[in-house]
Amino acid sequence: MQKHESTIVDIAKALNLSVATVSRALNDHPKISAATKIKVKEQANALEYRRNTLASGLRGSRTNNIGLIIPRVSMYFHAAAITAIQNKLHLQGYNLIIGQTNDAVEMEKQLASAMFSSRVDGLMVASTFYTTDFSHFDVFIRNNIPLVFFDRVPIDFYPAQVIKGDDYQGGFMATAHLAKAGCKTIAHLSGPLSCNLYKDRYAGYIDALRKYKLPFKKEWVFFNELTPENALLIAKQLFVKKPYPQGVFASNDTSAIVVLEYARALQLRIPAELKIVGYSNDPRTAIITPAITTIEQFPDKVGERAVAALLEIMNGARRKKDQVQTPIITAVELIRRASA
Amino acid sequence: MQKHESTIVDIAKALNLSVATVSRALNDHPKISAATKIKVKEQANALEYRRNTLASGLRGSRTNNIGLIIPRVSMYFHAAAITAIQNKLHLQGYNLIIGQTNDAVEMEKQLASAMFSSRVDGLMVASTFYTTDFSHFDVFIRNNIPLVFFDRVPIDFYPAQVIKGDDYQGGFMATAHLAKAGCKTIAHLSGPLSCNLYKDRYAGYIDALRKYKLPFKKEWVFFNELTPENALLIAKQLFVKKPYPQGVFASNDTSAIVVLEYARALQLRIPAELKIVGYSNDPRTAIITPAITTIEQFPDKVGERAVAALLEIMNGARRKKDQVQTPIITAVELIRRASA
DNA sequence: AAATTTTATGCAAACGTTTGAATTATTGGA
DNA sequence: TCCAATAATTCAAACGTTTGCATAAAATTT
């Protein structure tokens, strides 16, 4: 009796009912009498019954599991988004299955396949920096499994819903802020343009330069993956000979921090001689001296909107066509601090 | 034909084999001929077959899902641990299901129940600050589902494996470091003692005071939850009238940062007039001016050890009795920086 | 060539739940 | 009192795998 985990069959036997009735009672089916429902639920409690979601998923073809594929759990933006996503999904009775790609396309493929095998009811994806071919997600489309991309999304058309921050606007605002603060020359640390984030922020940068009639110099724009190591190499390059750029717009906060520390070590006065703007409002930017001006992306909002979109699709509230046509763009905000 | 997702039945039909043979072939059963295996696998590829893990889980009673219950994904330590955990589990073919308690006991109960219902093959838990009654995990014990606590673990005996950093030693090292640096009076921001972390760090603090023959003053010890807000209140209290404490050991980095910023605003010279040690090596501590001395907990190591322990239990490599008797304690390290 | 062992495959039940259709019990109306 | 309508319950199949046991085919021994 220790061995055996209780099932609806046990409940049925105990109450001399059929399993069908028990199943319906537990699911609050309208045709079951109130009295029976109560009896069944009491017996279920007494037996410590818990629905076997495998069995019910197999029969009913839903698992209540939502998959999430993400580059790295520990990056600030994503960690904050996950928090919001998980909280919201739990309210709706869904579990969240997380897979990390570590920004490797191959891993992304494996995870997509694993998520599909485990029959997630929906999938949320922030892709790697390098994913340009999204065909490993086709199987979700073909099988009509709701699919939502957020933050890191396909650049070319792909028939799935997209939720992202307004990176173009963010890039524009960051650059414009530097321009308005008087920078005549603004360098830009971008990431690989294969990623929509950097592509859009870069576009914003370019347009802001144009608007404020500032020169574009290709020696002052970089497209390496924005690791601390790369940022340091770039910083060395930027400040090897004068004139130095008067402003730096870094497309993530990690590299903004590296540049700031390097410039500080060079005794450059910030913001007097050099102004810096980062991206993401990483908690570190508020704490470093001087604090770094940056773009807030509201990761919790992005996460919540992504979940909301997924749920809408799952509930059929949104027509398939509409999903695909209209990316959802969430607002960003310039956080003014001492560095610019 | 769009409608229908392929199953082993389809493969069997296509090849004129029985489903049993197909199943065995896919699982590399020794009694299936090499030729058949190849045929089956080719056909499986051709049909884009993917095992239905619900069905196989239902029948075979394993799901390849591991549950993780954690206070908040976005806290540095936990985010880093999750990264390690997920990476390691994926290598073994497991999926990770994450639930966040937001440090609420009620949520922890709900999640434990949900994880059980979805038949995770094992569960990893970092409990809330306030969990003292762990009976909502009993169902895992009773059903013999591997259960591992890490970081935030039961204080009283509970029959499950435990993996944690050496908090006593960390508390001792932090305090001793301040003492050796010349602090005659050392305040301590602890968290609630219902949590093993704070209890052990506090014990280390006490013992270090004793060893260095420093006075213990109860006005200089605090047991509130270590939020920024609470830390600020405490800082105000600490520095309301002289003599100020010469050293502060904060049991997490967030509160160390708040204290440092408050003291800096008061124009206290750090480390000359006030020395500060935090706990966890949060990335912010390296970046603030002056950088904060802290205790590194190696979250990735903790995560990996926790997974290793879980896998050992699942593979039966470790006798049940041994699991429970011996908590696994991982080393911590003092990171010396400018603040002390 | 028959008997025996070995190797490969098939049969059918089982896992726990859900659900359309069928059946039984209850109620109300004439 | 009987019939019809409604409410409550049951039957049985289905979801896609896995697996013990039985069987068939091939290889080996006598």
What pLDDT, on the 0 to 100 scale, is given for residue A117? 82
Average pLDDT over residues B53-65: 87
Output the pLDDT for position A321.
56
* pLDDT value of position B117: 84
Mutate to test the interface with A, among B7, B56, B117 (most CBs of A within 10 A): B117
Q: What percent of chain B has pLDDT over 70?
A: 96
Sort A148 into a burial class: Cβ within 10 Å, 0-12 / 13-18 / 19+: buried
Distance separating alpha carbons of residues B232 and B255, to the nearest angstrom: 8
Up-side HSE of residue B263: CA atoms within 13 Å toward CB?
28
Q: Look up residue A84 and give its DSSP letter.
A: H
| Local confidence band at B119 (pLDDT 50, 70, 90 cut-offs) | confident
Do residue A117 and residue B87 have CB atoms under 8 angstroms apart?
Answer: no
> 3-state DSSP call for residue B149?
strand
Residue B275 phi/psi, 5° resolution? -115, 140
pLDDT of residue A61: 75
CA triple A264-A270-A273, angle to 5 deg: 105
- Average pLDDT of chain B is 92
Q: Which tokens belong to B156?
A: 């009283």
Q: What is the pLDDT of residue B118?
A: 84
Confidence of residue A1 (pLDDT cuts 50, 70, 90): very low
Q: Any idea which of A128-137, A170-179, A234-243, B138-147 has the lowest mean pLDDT?
A: B138-147
A273-277, A335-339, B221-225, B322-326: least confident range: B322-326
Share of chain A above pLDDT 90, in %: 81
The string of pLDDT tens digits covering residues A2-16 is: 457 899 999 999 999
CB contact under 8 A, B58 and A52: yes
The mean pLDDT value for A62-66 works out to 87
Q: Which residues of chain B lie closer than 8 angstroms to A276, CB-CB?
A: none
Q: How far is CA B251 from CA A71, A147, B299, in A?
A: 31, 42, 16
pLDDT of residue A119: 86
* Dihedral over alpha carbons B150, B156, B159, B165 (to 10 degrees): 20
**Strand C footprint at Cβ < 7 Å?**
A 5, 7-9, 19-20, 23-24, 26-27, 49, 51-52, 55-56, 58-60; B 16-21, 24, 30-36, 55, 58-59
Task: Give Cβ neighbours of residue B62 (< 8 Å, ≥ 6 apart).
Answer: B121
Asked whether residue A297 carries a pLDDT value surpassing 70, the answer given is yes
* pLDDT for the residue B93: 85
Where would I find the H helices in A143-267? 167-180, 196-211, 228-238, 253-265
CA distance A211 to A205: 10
Q: What is the pLDDT of residue A48?
A: 87
**Contact between A64 and B139 using a beta-carbon 8 Å cutoff:** no
| CA–C1' nearest nucleotide, residue A27 | C18
Helix (H) or strand (E) holding B187: strand B186-189
User: What CATH code is assigned to B8-51?
Assistant: 1.10.260.40
**Subunit contact A102:B119, Cβ cutoff 8 A:** no
One-letter amino acid at A79 equals: A
Which residues in window 52-111 of B are less than 7 A from strand D by Cβ?
52, 55-56, 58-60
- How far does A291 lie from chain B, in Å, by closest CA? 10
SS3 A198: helix
Cβ-Cβ contacts under 8 Å between A and B: the total is 131
Q: What is the per-residue pLDDT for B322?
A: 58
User: Residue B319 has what pLDDT?
Assistant: 58
CATH of domain B167-296: 3.40.50.2300
Matching fold, domains B64-164+299-329 and B167-296: yes
The answer to whether B340 and B296 are in contact (CB under 8 A) is no
Q: Which of A3-12, A279-288, B225-234 has the lowest mean pLDDT?
A: A3-12
**Average pLDDT along chain A:** 92
Top mean pLDDT of A93-107, B91-105, B191-205 is at: B191-205
Q: Which of A126, A129, A124 shows the shortest CA–CA distance to A104?
A: A129
The stretch B123-129 carries a mean pLDDT of 96
Angle in degrees, CA B132, B134, B137, rounded to 5? 160
Nearest by CB to A99, from B58, B76, B90: name it: B90
Best B108, B115, B287 residue to mutate vs chain A (most A CBs within 10 Å): B287
Of A83, A113, A261, the CB nearest to B100: A83
Which of A83, A102, A139 is opposite residue B74, by nearest beta carbon? A83
- CB of B293 closer than 8 Å to CB of B276: yes
B260 phi, psi to nearest 5 deg? -60, -45
Which member of A74, A110, A116 has the closest CB to residue B80?
A74
Which nucleotide's C1' is closest to B20 (Cα)? C10
Checking if the pLDDT of A131 tops 90, the result is yes
CA distance B169 to chain A (A): 26
Instruction: Name the nearest CA neighbour of B47 among B5, B3, B15.
Output: B5
In Å, what is the separation between the CA of B31 and the C1' of C10?
13
- Backbone φ, ψ for residue A199 (5° rounding): -60, -45
| Residue B17: pLDDT over 70 | yes
Nucleic acid strand D within 7 Å of A59 CB:
yes
The verdict on a CB contact (< 8 Å) between A73 and B82 is yes
Residue-level pLDDT at A317: 57
Summarize the confidence of residues A152-179 as an average pLDDT: 96
Find residue A335's DSSP bridge partners: A294
Our measurement of CA A19 to C1' C13, in angstroms, reads 19
Q: Hey, what are B96's tokens?
A: 């990770």
- Between the CA of B18 and the C1' of C12, what is the distance in angstroms? 12
Structure tokens at B108: 């922890």
Token pair, residue A58, equals 């197999």
Tokens of A332: 């960003």
On whether the CB atoms of residues A277 and A249 are closer than 8 A, the answer is yes
Q: Tell me yes or no: is domain B64-164+299-329 CATH 3.40.50.2300.
A: yes
B165: burial class by Cβ within 10 Å (0-12, 13-18, 19+)?
buried
Q: Which residue of A has its CA nearest to B140?
A: A5
DSSP per-residue codes, A195-207: SHHHHHHHHHHHH
- Interchain pair B79, A80: CB under 8 A: no
**Which chain B residues are Cβ-neighbours of A80 within 8 angstroms?**
74
Q: CB distance B95–A114 less than 8 Å?
A: yes
The reply to whether A240 has its C-beta less than 7 Å from any atom of strand D is no
CA of A104 to C1' of C23 (A): 59
Name the residue of chain B whose CA is nearest to A65's CA.
B97
> For the segment B283-317, what is each residue's pLDDT rounded down to a tens digit?
999 999 999 999 999 999 999 999 999 999 888 75
Domain residues of chain A, as ranges? 8-51, 64-164+299-329, 167-296
Helices (H), B92-246: 105-117, 138-142, 167-180, 196-211, 228-238
**Residue nearest C15 (alpha carbon to C1'):** B59
**What does the alpha-carbon distance between residue A290 and residue B201 come to, in Å, rounded to a whole number?**
33
Q: What pLDDT sits at residue B2?
A: 40
Q: Which nucleotide is nearest to A35 (CA to C1')?
A: D8
| Contact between B289 and A288 using a beta-carbon 8 Å cutoff | yes
Among candidates B119, B133, B130, B125, which has minimal Cα distance to B99?
Answer: B125
Q: Which residues contact B271 (CB under 8 A, 6 or more apart)?
A: B181, B290, B338, B339, B340
What positions of strand C are covered by protein, i.e. any atom < 7 Å from a CB? 7-12, 14-21
A95 vs B73, B74, B118: nearest CB: B118
Q: How confident is the model at residue A306 (pLDDT cuts 50, 70, 90)?
A: very high
Q: Are strands B186-189 and A247-250 parallel, antiparallel or unpaired?
A: unpaired
Looking at A27-75, list the stretches that DSSP marks H as alpha helix, in order from N- to C-terminal side. 34-46, 53-60
Residue A7 CB: number of other CB atoms within 10 A?
17
- Check whether the bond before B159 is cis (ω within 30° of 0): no
Q: What was the pLDDT predicted at A319?
A: 57
Residue A54 with chain B: CB contacts under 8 Å: 54, 57-58, 63, 118-119
Give residue A5's pLDDT: 82
- pLDDT for residue A133: 96
Protein CA B146 to sugar C1' C18 (Å) = 30
Tens-place pLDDT, residues A22-43: 999 999 999 899 999 999 999 9
φ/ψ of residue A187, rounded to 5: -85, 160
Q: At residue A77, does pLDDT exceed 90?
A: yes
Alpha carbons A153 and A169: distance in angstroms, whole number: 17
Q: Give the nearest partner residue to A87 out of B100, B115, B289, using CB atoms.
A: B100
- Confidence check: pLDDT of B263 > 60: yes
The answer to whether A190 CB sits below 7 Å from nucleic acid chain D is: no
pLDDT at B282 > cutoff 60: yes
Given the DSSP bridges, would you call strands B161-165 and B328-330 parallel, antiparallel or unpaired?
A: parallel
